[in-house]
Amino acid sequence: MSSDQQIKVLSFNCWGLKYVAKDRIERIRALADFLSTSDYDIIALQELWVQADFQAIRNAVLKSLSYSKYFYSGALGSGLALFSRFPITGSSITPYHLNGSPLDVAGGDFFVGKCLTSIIVEHPALGEVEVYNTHMYARGGETGHESMRSHRIVGALQVAKCFRASARQGRYIIAAGDFNSTPTSLTLDIIRDHGGATDTFASSHDSSLFPAEGVENPQHAIRSFGVTCDSPLNSYSAGKPLDEVATKWQGKRLDYVFIRDAIPRNTNSDPSPTLICTRSEVVLTGRVPGRNFSYSDHFGLEAVLNIRLPSSQSTLESTAKLPPELLHNGFASSGAPSIRSITTAITALSAAYRQARKVSNLQLGGFVGCVVSAAALIVGSAWQPRSALNPLLVLVGVVLGWGGGTLLYAGFIFGNYETNMLVNAIEELEMLRSQRD
């Protein structure tokens, strides 16, 4: 068990989809066994969709992590859970404004209500610490125009605002989860810069940015660059078609642990303790004991955080010695995104707004087409001499009614909601840009 001067954190995407995820029951059982003998102070799990799986893990870690919280969101649940050694004094859930389209049934993000969750714990040395857990919107990939990732960009703005609000309330921040974004993405730029957050893996390695020429060795990609997903060493990724990003760099780094220090409420008060990441590494990379499959389609991410007391000058000295690429990752964050990042985000969201308007109009046109077709069917059936065709006509009418209602909802209700959320985000970014000019 860690001392009160150290906090050990684990973030892990469990891939716990009921009926869909392969070998789920055995993998969750093995994960519970692993965690029961671990010495983590905080565990953040994603895609823990089944309540029984949460209970199994909760029972396994109860002796060491007495406090836990399972979060409910959307129609199918958030799949997010937090376990803590420290007492929980509060919790919150912030649904992302945009989570994909209701017509994207296969993606499912809209229905699970992806969100940013948090618990407030009472730490003996730091006081209040807000521990966040999230699983961000998945669609959009890493290549192509940024507008494809507009929903994730809007979510990143929400994350950054929550971080800033927590810090202003005098709380330290530990944020873990599957952010579905690579280190150089605009999403991560916003979270690091606007949210003032430190990427713990980057801060504890010489460089976590992938080399331009790619990575040949998957072990090196995991060890040095923090690959947690789509690795050839993962049994669920091996042999499956991978996109160009995963192929070039032997996987993707999508899972993170961020930290941020509290902002003292009284500027005249004594210096506060500082959180420093001394070690971060990818874990749970092997096979489930006795089986030939991995613990999940992701690997886990572990971070060891040391608490530097204000009486020590080592915090200032160690920060001053950091190379420029690590200062970018949050140690000396200005708490404001660059003009370039803001402009790129505005351009992406503006393009997404135009596309959303176009899609909404097409869907409303489809609704009108369904109504006209249904009316023609009703009128035409009166002159239809063959009664045997009536069941077929009824079926066609039902399909047209269902399709028309769905398109009306998607085009009018969701279409207007999506564009309104995009406008809000664009205006917020424009205000930030005007402050930076």
List, by residue number, the catalytic residues. 298
Distance separating alpha carbons of residues 2 and 301, to the nearest angstrom: 17
Name residue, tokens 């730490």: 123
Going edge to edge, which strands form the sheet with 81-84? Answer: 67-70, 81-84, 42-46, 6-13, 300-308, 274-283
Distance separating alpha carbons of residues 118 and 318, to the nearest angstrom: 29
Distance separating alpha carbons of residues 436 and 337, to the nearest angstrom: 9
What kind and span of H or E run contains 301? strand 300-308
| Rounded (10°) angle between helices 24-36 and 51-61 | 20
Asked if 31 and 58 count as a contact pair (C-beta separation under 8 A), the reply is: no
What 3-state DSSP class applies to 285? coil
Instruction: Sort 386 into a burial class: Cβ within 10 Å, 0-12 / 13-18 / 19+.
Output: exposed
Instruction: Sort 71 into a burial class: Cβ within 10 Å, 0-12 / 13-18 / 19+.
Output: buried
Asked if 96 and 151 count as a contact pair (C-beta separation under 8 A), the reply is: yes
Distance separating alpha carbons of residues 84 and 43, to the nearest angstrom: 7
Which tokens in the block code for residue 173? 């921040």
| Rounded (10°) angle between helices 339-381 and 415-436 | 170
What 3-state DSSP class applies to 60? helix
- Closest CA relative to residue 428, chosen from 99, 154, 146, 189: 154
φ and ψ of 166, to 5 deg: -65, -45
Residue type, 355: Q
| Rounded (10°) angle between helices 339-381 and 150-168 | 130
Residue type, 316: L
Distance separating alpha carbons of residues 35 and 51, to the nearest angstrom: 17
